[in-house]
Structure 1
Amino acid sequence: MRLWNNIEFTNPEFLWLLLVVPLLVVYYVVLRKKSTASLTLSSTKSFGEPSILPRLKPILHVLRLAAISLLIVALARPRITSVSTKVNTNKGIDIVMAIDVSASMLARDLKPNRLGALKKVATNFVDKRPSDRIGIVIYAGESFTQTPITSDKRIVKRTINDIKWGQLEGGTAIGMGLGSAVNRLKESKAKSKVIILLTDGVNNSGFVDPKTATELAKELGIKTYTIGLGTKGNAPSPAYRDGNGKLVFQNMPVEIDEELLEYIASETEGKYFRATDNKKLEAIYDEINKLEKTEIEEFKYYNYDERYRFLVILAGLILGLEMLLRFTIFRSFI
């Protein structure tokens, strides 16, 4: 029985009265010596066996001191406090990750390649956002909503894991990718709406102008973080297929429209990042995670279980026992 776990005292100053108990012990010892008379006899044979009751008389003082101690502790109002917590996360963030899946995402300047590195980092990012809803948009020459905004992180992570090159026609339609992400968020009731748009190229296809999609995101209050993925210089990238249909890699220039990505981020009050390797990509998602903090309201409910009543009852029982013994068994010795 966990009777005294997490105990606290409402009026702890009364515990100082326990210092009186040792003084009472001294008082009873001195009083007993003064009240005990001695008689010297040459022989006690005629009195028979002496009674043990006089020797047990001090138990009355012990009982009284115990009762006094319990009453003092009861005055200090001991109680056990239990705390229950309720977390309100209705102020979460709705996030859409718009991911470029063009052929250049197979470039091997990141390990194992750009797409593989991104999938790992994006999955870790999802794990760090337990209170938010997340959706996935993929784009290349066209765009497609892979997963609508959902709070089911298992679905989101499975979607990220299943992303493959070749799902969409070739090209890089940044405007369509951003437009699809905005479309996913336009009906959102979340306090904060965020797009994380990642690409490793330039806008060269699609019928949606990236600046038009940017204006729409701005009007709807959707903050956009943009990420340019790829090393500076040349990177081993898919060049063509051989006779067996296998991709052949060659060192090719890395071309990222950083001016456009900076414009999108600036206009929507977001931020532009450049990820040149795996560690930098991880650091970027960690920074976005820190920048977009979910507001969580925590309510604590305190329940107090008063324990002084138990002590008062116990002290009363001990005093009752002391009085009973005093006026029955020990009556002739008082």
Structure 2
Amino acid sequence: MFRFLHWYLLFLIPLLIYLFFKENSSRAIKFSSIKLIKDSGVKATIKHKIGRYTILLGVILLIIALARPQSGKEVNNIKKEGIDIVLALDLSGSMKSVDFDPSRLEVAKETIDKFIKGRKNDRLSLAVFSGTAYTKVPLTLDHNILREMLEKTSSEDVNKDGTAIGMGLSVGINRLKKSNAKSKIIILVTDGENNAGKVSPETAIQIASQIGIKVYTIGVGSDITKIPVGRDFFGQMRYQSYEGGLDEELLQKIGKQTGGEYFRAKDPQALINIFKKIDQLEKSKFDINNYLEYKELAFNFIKGGVILILFGIFLERYFYIKIP
């Protein structure tokens, strides 16, 4: 958007042009005939007027500068209410299951990565657990570091086997207990049942509820777990398969008692849809005030005007010979 703050000063421009040409006509030398001038070989030229026109243009630019030209752009004054989110990821051996291609863990990582990319205004943390748990990335707005660490995450990051769901929750709680965010979320992704750890899921549920932490639990995997166990004599991969292993009752309890929700992802697309749903359920709140911010353009006109006036004076007084 463009405007002149003192637009009424622009009316001086036509007045200036009128006075300029009126003065020039009154200063002209009158001849009864210009035949003698033409016969003498003198050609019509306006070179001697260039200086005056240049000065006129410079003065016009100064008048435009006085009118305060401004360019405006719309600015959004955003007040955001961020959300702190801990992503608690199960790294137990069963997450190597190939019922998801290439594995449950790799699909979970890819899905979480897409989720991170969509949460630009929130602080995120990555916690991992198996037989024990720890924070891999603390709460941060540097999502590039978070995504880089997530990509490098593997089942070897936790050297104690098992599934310590209570420990995974407690690590997330420790990350969020001092948070000043109005919304504090844990998204726990697992394919097993709690069978390890010093903190029980019930204790973690109680603490999370008291602090106001909402937990979304996601049960990953089909009804059949299929773990690669090595290659046979002919180089073919061998698998160990078994049914069950997911404690849905516990995951439902965690979600319900903390104000969150439990989801079941039996295939990769279901997991993607679950994260999309959580993304919609837990959106940052924004107060947006729109206003116009103007930038002053007068300086450029002043600079141009001064240059033209000085150049015009040079042409008028020194470059073109003027007969008095």
Q: TM-score, normalised by structure 1?
A: 0.68
1:320 offset after TM fit, Å? 5.5
Deviations 1:265-299 (A, max 9, x none): 23323333222222232333344345444578999
The equivalent position to 1:223 in structure 2, one of 214, 221, 228, is: 214
The Cα of 1:164 is off from its aligned counterpart by 1.0
Compared CA separation, residues 106 and 88, structure 1 to 2 (3 A): same
Aligned length: 313
2:298 to 296, 306, 311: 306
TM-aligned CA distance change 1:276 to 1:36, over 3 Å: farther
- Residue 264 of structure 1 is matched in structure 2 by 254
Deviation string 1:151-205 (CA, Å, 9 cap, x unpaired) is 3643663355232169455543322321232133323444543211111233345
User: 5+ residue gaps in structure 2?
Assistant: none
The within-5 A match list for 1:171-190 is 171-190=162-181
- AA matched with 1:73: I
> How far 1:219 sits from its partner (Å)?
1.1
User: 1:3: which partner in 2?
Assistant: none
Where 1:288 maps in the other structure, the secondary structure is helix
Q: CA deviation at 1:214?
A: 1.2
Distance 1:226 1:174 in 2: 10
2:53–2:312 CA contact under 8 A, matched in 1: no
Query: Residue 77 of structure 1: CA displacement?
Result: 2.1
Q: Is the 8 A contact 2:64 2:298 kept in 1?
A: no
* Match in the other structure for 2:322: 329
**Aligned residues with identical type, % of pairs:** 30
Give the AA of the match of 2:133: F
Correspondence 1:137 to 2:132: no
Contact 2:226–2:240, Cα closer than 8 Å, also in 1: yes
Q: 3-state SS of the aligned residue for 2:99?
A: coil
1:202 corresponding residue in structure 2: 193
Relative to 1, partners in 2 of residues 1:67 and 1:239: Cα closer, same or farther, differing over 3 Å?
closer
Give 2:275's aligned residue: 285
Distance in 2 (alpha carbons) for counterparts of 1:68 and 1:291: 62
Question: Is the 1:136–1:145 Cα contact (8 Å) retained in structure 2?
Answer: no
Q: Report what 2:32 is aligned to.
A: 38
Q: Using the alignment, how far apart are the partners of 1:322 and 1:145 within structure 2?
A: 80
Query: Is the counterpart of residue 248 in structure 1 residue 239 in structure 2?
Result: yes
CA distance in 1, matches of 2:3, 2:175: 53
Distance 2:9 2:280 in 1: 49
Match of residue 205 from structure 2 = 214
Distance of 1:65 and 1:75 partners within structure 2: 15
**Closer/same/farther in 2, CA of residues 166 and 103 from structure 1, 3 Å limit:** farther
Letter in 2 for 1:66: L
Whether the 8 Å CA contact 1:148–1:184 is kept in 2: the answer is no
Contact 2:54/2:309, CA 8 A, preserved across alignment: no
Task: Tell me if 1:10 matches 2:5.
Answer: yes
How big is each residue's C-alpha offset from its partner over 1:55-86, in whole Å with a ceiling of 9 and x where there is no partner? 65655763564355334423332357899999
Aligned CA RMSD, in angstroms, stands at 5.0
Which of the numbers 92, 102, 105 marks the counterpart of 1:112?
102
Whole-Å Cα distance in 2 between the matches of residues 128 and 168 of structure 1?
Answer: 31
| Matched-pair contact (CA < 8 Å) for 2:72–2:293 | no
Unmatched segments (≥5 aa) in structure 1: 1-5
Scaled by the length of structure 2, what TM-score is found? 0.69
Larger Rg, first or second structure (1 or 2): 1
- In 1, distance between residues paired with 2:39 and 2:92? 113
C-alpha spacing 1:73/1:257, structure 2 compared with 1 (3 Å): same
SS at match of 1:272: strand
CA contact (8 A) 1:28 1:61 kept: no
After TM superposition, give the deviation of residue 120 of structure 1 in Å.
2.3
Shift of 1:111: 0.9
One-letter amino acid of the counterpart of residue 224, structure 2: A
1:2-81 pair list within 5 angstroms: 9-12=4-7, 14-15=9-10, 36-39=30-33, 49=40, 59=50, 62-63=53-54, 65-67=56-58, 69-78=60-69
Name which of 227, 248, 254 aligns with 1:238: 227
SS of alignment partner, residue 155 of structure 2? coil
| CA separation of 1:297 and 1:53: change in aligned 2, threshold 3 A | same
Answering whether residue 152 of structure 2 is matched by residue 157 of structure 1, we say: no
